[in-house]
A = this chain, B = another copy of it.
């Protein structure tokens, strides 16, 4: 029994071939893929996979807490199979997205009475690789 199958069943989601393939992909590829990246990659092994199913599955996984959807910029959504607390930074030159750790306790001064549940932190700048090429 694969890890993906267990994770889905734990949440009462039927472990179909498509869902397991997408979840396995996200957990194996920590490169913050776009929908199209995932689609292209899975299409080899699963030629019948439709974009509709992929969109539905990504929405399902996100709302089940098995993936994060990152909206660093308005023009593309990236997905992350690592749902542990961490920040994301994007290089303005190469467009690459990288993880970075967050402090144990991030003291956010939310508005009075606001009940916080989750946080996304996005940073922009220049990655080491691109900085060294300047």
Contact = CB atoms under 8 A, between A and B. Distances in A.
Interface of A: 69, 71-74, 77, 87, 89, 91-92, 98-103, 107-128, 131-132
Contacts of A99: 111
A119 to B, nearest CB: 5
6 contacts: A89-B114, A100-B109, A101-B109, A112-B128, A113-B132, A116-B123
Contact of A115 (B74, B100, B122, B131): B131
Query: How many chain copies does the complex carry?
Result: 2
Q: Tell me whether chain A's interface is mostly helix, strand or loop, or mixed.
A: strand
Given A74-B77, A100-B109, A107-B103, A114 B125 contact: yes
B127 A114 contact: yes
Contact of A125 (B87, B110, B124): B110
B128 A123 contact: no
Contacts of A91: 114
Given A124-B116, A126-B115, A100 B110 contact: yes
A57 to B, nearest CB: 16
A114 B87 contact: no
Given A73-B71, A114-B89, A122 B120 contact: yes
B113 A127 contact: yes
